[in-house]
Amino acid sequence: MPIRRLIPLTAAMLTASVFAAHAGSCSNDIDLMQARIDARVEAIAAAGSFVPPGISAGMGVQPTPFGMATVEEKMGEVSGNKVDAVHAAMARARTANAGANTAANYRACEKALAEVRHIMAR
């Protein structure tokens, strides 16, 4: 095959491989964002007042970060709308990531994570 034909073919294959790599999973990004959320909830909990027994009753020995956020919301330390918005955006990110490994799903996942970043910055 002459070099002139090989160059465009090679360029096309390289471009396709870049898009395929970019269309990969955003699991690491989700994990990093979940760690940020968990750290933020724990910091709010540590800075806040003692949780009255009635609010935390039934949470068990090891509450989940979302459960802790719910308690913080009940105590007025976190907005309920903010907790719900972060929870919904993370669910969208996980749903997009669980779908087929396409560029559209990757973008949907990243868009949902960007929304979480925006909500947490407020």
**Counting Cβ atoms within 10 Å, is residue 84 exposed (0-12), middle (13-18) or buried (19+)?**
middle
Determine the straight-line distance between the first and last CA of the chain, rounded to whole angstroms.
58
* pLDDT mean over 91-119: 95
pLDDT at 92 over 90: yes
pTM for the full predicted model: 0.62
The DSSP symbol for 75 reads T
Which one-letter amino acid corresponds to residue 87?
H
Counting Cα atoms < 13 Å in the Cβ hemisphere of 20 gives 6
Compare 24 and 63 and report the one with higher pLDDT: 24
